[in-house]
Amino acid sequence: MQPEISDHIFYSFLTGGFCASTTTSSFYPFTIEDTIAQDKALASVRNHKEAERRRRERINYHLSKLRYLLSCNSKTDKATLLAKVVQRVKELKQQTLEISNESLPSETDEISVLNFEDCSNDNDDHRIIFKVSFCCEDRPDLLQDLMEILKSLRMETLFADLTTIGDRTRNVLVVAADKGHHGVESVHFLQNALKSLLERSSKSVMMGRSGGGGEMLKRRRALDHIIMV
Amino acid sequence: MQPEISDHIFYSFLTGGFCASTTTSSFYPFTIEDTIAQDKALASVRNHKEAERRRRERINYHLSKLRYLLSCNSKTDKATLLAKVVQRVKELKQQTLEISNESLPSETDEISVLNFEDCSNDNDDHRIIFKVSFCCEDRPDLLQDLMEILKSLRMETLFADLTTIGDRTRNVLVVAADKGHHGVESVHFLQNALKSLLERSSKSVMMGRSGGGGEMLKRRRALDHIIMV
DNA sequence: GGGAACACGTGAGTC
DNA sequence: TGACTCACGTGTTCC
């Protein structure tokens, strides 16, 4: 425990009281005024001390909450904890941004096929799992064509997320393929099939379209309504 | 600026040096050993002081980063800042949890229809905007039936997000209705139409299904692959 | 003047 | 031992 220096102040006040009692000509070393001033000074020091203690408690209280939120050991020092908090906030911000962006179709056509062979669990060791996602112009037969592609490749759809806004669509699928029929190289089959799917789309859109600017504006306005939600 | 108490230590070391130079019988008040010890003591105090200063700087550096991330005024005090950080981390955690939950179909059938009449901007003052979302068993004709419902109600789809995993599907749509044909009460039309849609689903599913546990497991396994992504 | 917030140097404890 | 963290009381500054 640290010595309280307020005692030192008190003592120096005492010595001062003996030497220079200038306010009155009293015989007593301490006048009432001195006592009052002394009390006030002590009270001031005490208040200051306690306010500072409360401030420290307030700060440490929130730090303990952050320790809990980040499931940090109580032995993690303050600076490291705060560094982790900074990192976590950044991550979470980025994550929400990505989710809201990735879930909407992009303006440009895109195709992505990934295989999860390495990640497949024991239940699925006889199957290969692919994650397929693509953005393109929307058209009535798109979904049907996609289903036929997957059917012809003997792939089962485990998960599908189809997002359409205005004339653009973004489709994400998780599909399973039997290892008897497919290997890792099937990624290319899928990619090529999707490429032809998108080419068919752009052809039909090109022929049927009158102008490009209108759809863009329409989508922009539709977007306003979604973001408002 | 605060007085450096190391000076006091230094001076008390000096006085001590005069009174008790016990290590040697030298005439001089300070021996070489004393000087070395004195240097070491001073260096120790200085190191301690500087280490503590670096520690404070480290902590304050991360706090300034957090101030920036939360776009807080530089005059926001530490305790308030940390309180806001706690709140923000909680919010972001909750948000990402909700997004990942809300975007997946629930086990129970649900219907929700909201109108955005109050939020509609100037471009759409002649239209009413509805947000429609529902969860139910998936079936091949569901989408077609849904489109027919919207067509019969003369509603245009601005946005659609259709998520299917295993045998469950979650559909979110933002639709626009002309004010000439529709008012706020059209919410009920939509709700009833969706209700009949879901009833049709449950009937066909009930008749065609053999057992319930298998689908659940299948979905569970499909979910594993998505979460791995 | 007085409360609030901060930086500082220091003693104590830990590894 | 030394390097490090923490709580503490204090001096200072700003409203």
Q: How many CB pairs under 8 A join A and B?
A: 152
Residues 113-172 of B with CB under 8 A from A: 116, 119-121, 123-124, 129, 131, 143, 157-166
C-alpha distance from residue A70 to each of A14, A56, A73, B94, B138 (Å): 52, 21, 9, 14, 39
Q: Is the CB of A5 under 7 A from strand D?
A: yes
pLDDT of B93 above 80: yes
C-alpha distance from residue A163 to each of A108, A174, B69, B100, B227 (Å): 15, 15, 31, 15, 19
Nucleotides, chain C, CB distance < 7 Å: 2-12
Are B166 and A157 in contact (CB < 8 Å)? no
- Who among A63, A116, A223 is closest to B225 (CB)? A116
Of residues A124 and B94, more confidently modeled? B94
Average pLDDT, chain B: 79
Choice among A93-102, B64-73, B148-157 with the minimum mean pLDDT: A93-102
Contact B193, B149 (CB under 8 A): yes
Q: By CA distance, what is A68's nearest residue in B?
A: B86
Q: If you measure CA to C1', which residue is closest to nucleotide D8?
A: A2
Q: Which of residues 12-71 of A touch strand C (CB under 7 A)?
A: 40, 44, 47-48, 51-52, 55
What percent of chain B has pLDDT above 90?
Answer: 45
Average pLDDT over residues B198-220: 64
CA of A103 to C1' of D6 (A): 46
Q: Which residues in chain B have their CB less than 8 angstroms from residue A222's CB?
A: 158-159, 174
Nearest nt by C1' to A79 Cα: D5
Q: Among B53, B62, B66, B148, pick the best mutation site for testing chain A contact (most A Cβ within 10 A).
A: B62
Average pLDDT over residues A7-15: 40
The band of A23, judged by pLDDT with boundaries at 50, 70 and 90, is: very low
The band of B207, judged by pLDDT with boundaries at 50, 70 and 90, is: low
Is A83 an interface residue toward B (CB < 8 Å)? yes
CA of B49 to C1' of C4 (A): 26
Please tell me the pTM assigned to this model: 0.66
> In angstroms, how far is the first alpha carbon of chain A from the final one?
57
Are B158 and A222 in contact (CB < 8 Å)? yes
pLDDT of A200 above 80: yes
Average pLDDT over residues B79-102: 91
Nucleotides, chain D, CB distance < 7 Å: 2-12
Tell me how far apart the alpha carbons of residues A27 and A21 are, in angstroms, rounded to a whole number.
10
- As to burial, measured by CB atoms within 10 angstroms (0-12 exposed, 13-18 middle, 19+ buried), residue B81 is buried
Is A82 an interface residue toward B (CB < 8 Å)? yes
User: What is the radius of gyration, based on Cα positions, of chain A?
Assistant: 36
